[in-house]
Chain A
Amino acid sequence: MSELDLRRASSVDEALTIMRDEGRTPIAGATDLYVAAQFGTLVPRKLLDIWKLKELRTIGTAADGQTLVIGALSTYTDLMQSAVVQDRLPMLVTAARLVGGVQIQNRGTIGGNIVNGSPAGDTLPVFAAADAVVVLRSLRGERRVPFNEFYAGYRKTVIKPDELLIAVETPSIDGIQAFRKVGTRAAQAISKIAMAAVRDPKRPRIAFGSLAATVVRVPKTEAALASGNSIDEAAAVLEAEINPIDDVRSTAVYRKRVAVNLLRWFWKETAPA
């Protein structure tokens, strides 16, 4: 790693200036970037350490008292310990608990998970199902991008090289939330498939990770559930709607089967008494 050129920023403004002037790539918890560096697949050589920017490590509600605002540098441990996240977005706490081991939970950040953009990123289905909004900032200004428009393709995002992810905003959510991850074992496993779901009586929302090149919502299946179709009918819609990938972690056939089973599990678990 010593061949890497790393400099530190002491404020968000300084970071944005350095990113504009020197074209440096931000590095947060390094749990993706340093693995890539070890593998020899890390392309950027000029890095900007943003780990200590406390301004980005806050969790709270916006002025409306409703919107949950999670700073980009919040770690999985921060999420698990946050009362407001436990209260408003419990599916994110479940997802955080299932990431890596404690060492990774202490360093891995949501900003890194989102911008790294692996379709196996475990917070991605949560933010997709939550209709979250990503706050991006550069010296040119700040913009808000709906999370479901943030990915342009496999590991491609709409973030510009001079932009920092500042925070993720989640509107308040009606209905029971759930997160399930299927991997090879309980700890430290990359998802073969993950699902985040919200049983909003009016607008049920289902998102899958590791199913396609990016995290996906399943609007047809959601519509079937919303219109009161039986779970069998909704499961059939889901089967027709998704077209999973085949890769080293699992096959398309397996993923389709598991996706349907996860949907059935969710609907049964959250059925009104």
Chain B
Amino acid sequence: MKFTLNGKATEVNASPAARLLDVLREDCGLTGTKEGCGEGECGACSVLIDGEVVCSCLVPFAQADNAEVLTIEGLNGTHPLQKLFMDEVGAQCGICTPGMIIAAMTLGEKPTLDEVKVALAGNLCRCTGYSAIYRAIMKWRGMPLPDESSSAVTA
């Protein structure tokens, strides 16, 4: 099956029923995409398919046929948001981080904090308490943060 992976035309011979997550990690050797739960709950496996964020643990490989897939490796480690996650300590154990950053790629130019929370509602973090993640994203978009106490997650 053929698809575009991080901008490169790619052909992989895998079962059409294989999880896209496994194809990325096992067949393509891109282990930046993480498996947290394997059942759509945590968002650690988030990738973009044709610009839409999905849980790659729930996508049959056949559904990525001819699509454009973006994984964390597609940001080359040089994306400003990646640096901000480090500066703001938006990553601790790091399992959720690639999924968080990928989900953040779908945000508009000037997101409100609420929009950031909605965009990341499907991404769970067991470590940071989310504030540092939201801070990194708001700084990346040059958006002021409402007062610190109200940025704690309420979801």
Contact = CB atoms under 8 A, between A and B. Distances in A.
Instruction: Sort chain A's interface into a size bin.
Output: 20 to 34
Contacts of B60: 1, 6, 27, 30, 34, 47, 49
Contacts of A31: 40, 55, 58
A2 B46 contact: no
14 contacts: A2-B18, A3-B17, A6-B16, A7-B16, A8-B65, A34-B57, A35-B39, A35-B40, A38-B39, A49-B16, A100-B40, A102-B121, A107-B58, A107-B59
B118 A102 contact: yes
B53 A103 contact: yes
A121 to B, nearest CB: 15
Contacts of B120: 101
Interface of A: 1-8, 27, 29-31, 34-35, 38-39, 47, 49, 51-52, 77, 100-104, 106-107, 185-188
Contacts of B65: 8
B19 interface: yes
Q: DSSP majority for the B interface?
A: loop
Contact of B43 (A2, A34, A47, A103): A103
A52 B67 CA distance: 11
Interface string B93-122: 000000000010010000000000011111
A101 B17 contact: no
A8 B62 CA distance: 8
B25 to A, nearest CB: 13
B9 interface: no
A151 to B, nearest CB: 24
Contacts of B18: 1-2
A259 to B, nearest CB: 24
B87 to A, nearest CB: 25
B122 A38 contact: no
- Between A38, A103, A106, A185, the greatest number of chain B beta carbons within 10 A of the residue's beta carbon is seen for A103
B41 A188 contact: yes
Interface string B30-71: 000000001111010010000011110111101101000000
B15 interface: yes
A184 to B, nearest CB: 11
Q: Which 5 A-B pairs have the closest CB atoms?
A: A101-B122, A187-B121, A4-B17, A6-B17, A2-B15
